[in-house]
């Protein structure tokens, strides 16, 4: 496993992180298989486990707690907090008030069955609460020994700097992929200036970069789908990833593997989150670490996926207002 230091003074963590959200979204859920997947990932050296207290209304944290029982020292647990959902799954807003932050942490510690959370981060800045107040609450938890490191998620360069002034930020979780490169002009350079590790999520852009997506394969409520996955945008974007499919075929890997490998090629400070729900998918993801690019291949991908090639926003409008700009 390729490892890197988290932030300036953090521990060594795996270059691939396990995104655990989908384990709680399955219907029906298969907890035994999900636990086996987490444990197989740990066995393979993937120690970065990514979750949130709102994934499955706490189910995801409880699942991880069961999976790491007896092997806590092998896992680095990243937890997001602050998003509120009704029992029916309806988004009800954000809560970044300091007392709420500490309350969220208390419940997360209980569900995870641990004494300390490795990385704790607001899922989004609460627009009703000064960001410094939210970050200050996490800093208090660090002083109390309940959290080890501070992370932030979906913030722009300004909020990243504001957080870092309150307490050193170790990691920035943010959407980043060949199909989504809004972070490159300002956010990524700011993170690197501050010594903040970058943790991309949605690395396959809602499945677009798998190369297997068709307009007919998308189901569900279209209002929940981002504009890049709707109508003419989707048709254009499916056609636009043809160069990725061609290069993957030439290199003997899948488009998804190639897309994640491209992310890792962007620097030695990137942890790419990959989602798995079955142990059988582990080997496919581990093979990503062996993919290398020539200068010409990187130039070809740069040209094929230049900013603006993929059309449409990455979130529906009601979510985008809470996302990093």
Residues annotated catalytic, as ranges? 55
Whether 228 contacts 205, CB under 8 Å = yes
Pairing of strands 83-85, 91-94: antiparallel
What stretches of the chain show up as alpha helix (H) in DSSP? 21-25, 31-43, 59-67, 98-112, 131-143, 157-166, 187-194, 231-240, 242-251, 255-264, 282-286, 295-304, 317-320
- Three-state SS for 254-278 is CHHHHHHHHHHCCCCCECEEEECCC
Q: In whole angstroms, what is the distance from residue 19 CA to residue 2 CA? A: 17
- Contact, 19 vs 275, CB < 8 A? yes
Q: Of the candidates 16, 23, 18, which has an alpha carbon nearest to the alpha carbon of residue 277?
A: 23
Query: 3-class SS at 291?
Result: coil
- Which pair of tokens denotes residue 112? 């995870």
**Pick from 65, 71, 55: nearest CA to 114:** 65
Side-chain-side CA neighbours of residue 95 (13 Å):
16
C-alpha to C-alpha distances, 293 to 13, 264, 266, 298, nearest whole angstrom: 23, 11, 11, 6
The half-sphere exposure of 1 on its side-chain side, counting CA atoms within 13 A, is: 20
Contacts (Cβ under 8 Å, ≥6 apart) of 27: none
């Amino acid at each position: 496993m390729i490892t890197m230091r988290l932030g300036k003074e953090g521990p060594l963590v795996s270059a691939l992180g396990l995104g655990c959200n989908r384990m709680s979204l399955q219907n029906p859920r298969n907890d035994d298989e999900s636990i086996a997947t987490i444990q197989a990932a740990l066995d393979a050296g993937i120690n970065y486990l990514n979750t949130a207290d709102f994934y499955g209304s706490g189910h995801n944290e409880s699942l991880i707690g069961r999976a790491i029982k007896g092997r806590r020292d092998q896992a680095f647990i990243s937890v997001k907090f602050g998003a509120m959902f009704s029992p029916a799954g309806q988004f009800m807003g954000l809560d970044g008030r300091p007392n709420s932050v500490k309350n969220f942490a208390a419940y997360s510690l209980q569900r995870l069955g641990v004494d300390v959370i490795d990385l704790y981060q607001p899922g989004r800045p609460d627009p009703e609460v000064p960001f410094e107040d939210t970050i200050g609450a996490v800093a208090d938890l660090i002083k109390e020994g309940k959290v080890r490191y501070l992370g932030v998620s979906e913030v722009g360069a300004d909020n990243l700097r504001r957080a870092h002034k309150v307490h050193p930020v170790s990691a920035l979780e943010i959407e980043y992929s060949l199909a989504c490169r809004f972070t490159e002009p300002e956010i990524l350079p700011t993170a690197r200036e501050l010594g903040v590790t970058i943790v991309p999520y949605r690395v396959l852009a809602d499945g677009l970069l798998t190369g297997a997506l068709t307009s007919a394969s998308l189901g569900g409520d279209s209002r929940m789908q981002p504009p890049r996955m709707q109508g003419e945008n989707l048709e254009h974007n499916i056609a636009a990833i043809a160069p990725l499919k061609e290069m993957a075929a030439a290199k003997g890997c899948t488009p998804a593997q190639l897309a994640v490998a491209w992310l890792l090629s962007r620097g030695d400070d990137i942890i790419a989150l990959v989602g798995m729900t079955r142990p059988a998918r582990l080997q496919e993801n581990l093979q990503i670490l062996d993919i290398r690019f020539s200068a010409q291949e990187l130039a070809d991908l740069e040209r094929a996926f230049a900013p603006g090639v993929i059309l449409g926003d990455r979130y529906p409008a009601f979510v985008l207002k809470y996302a990093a700009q």
